[in-house]
Amino acid sequence: MTEQTRQKVFTELEFHLWRIRYLPKRDWHSEIMVKGSTKALSTMRDAIKLMMEDFKSHGHSTRKFLCNPPEDIDVLRYANEHKAEIEWLIWLVFRMQSDVPDTARYELKNKAVTVFLNEQTASKLLEILETQLNTSTQYPHGQTAPGGLFFAPDWLGVE
């Protein structure tokens, strides 16, 4: 693994995180949408592997990923055309602790999404990342991940 993945905060990734609601509804969908380049997903996978090693040594571990809205498409206009609203989120934080239940949901505060993991849910997240990285078409139908994340096939989270 590269030295880059040994760090705990990642800011230079092509990585997007958002939530969506279909208008005129007031409630946001419960899933947090995730999309990233192959390099971003590989970096995340490697960082989570190291996070799991840290967890075994120290009993807890954290990794933090800065998310950036895409620059090559006007996603907000696209969402408006489909009668939806998108809220860009800024940080994706993974916190690994032993007392986290398998069903733990994310916490959203100040546009930062914190996902709480244990050994089983971190392993499941790695499995999903591997699936996304090893398919010829990333996000073919979308994929639910631990904590309420959803690897989105498109900007609306549908195929």
Secondary structure of 84-114 in the HEC alphabet?
Answer: EEEEECCEEEEEEECCCCCCCCCEEECCEEE
β-bridge pairing 84-88 and 32-36:
unpaired
pLDDT of residue 122: 97
Residue 106 falls within a domain, yes or no? yes
pLDDT of residue 67: 93
Residue 25 falls within a domain, yes or no? no
Residue 1 falls within a domain, yes or no? no
| Predicted TM-score (pTM) above 0.85 | yes
Residue 159 falls within a domain, yes or no? no
Distance from C-alpha of 132 to C-alpha of 41, rounded to nearest angstrom = 8
Task: Tell me the CATH number at 104.
Answer: 3.30.1360
Task: Give the pLDDT means over successive 10-residue stretches in the chain (159 positions).
Answer: 70 92 92 92 94 93 91 81 91 95 96 97 94 71 90 78
Which residues make beta-bridge pairs with 66? 91
pLDDT, tens digit (0-9, with 9 covering 90-100), for 3-26: 555 789 999 899 999 999 999 999
Q: How many domains is the chain partitioned into structurally?
A: 1
pLDDT of residue 136: 64
Domain extent at residue 105:
6-20+31-150
Distance from C-alpha of 51 to C-alpha of 44, rounded to nearest angstrom = 10
Residue 149, judged by CB atoms within 10 A of its CB (0-12, 13-18, 19+), counts as buried
| Token pair recorded at residue 102 | 């398998």
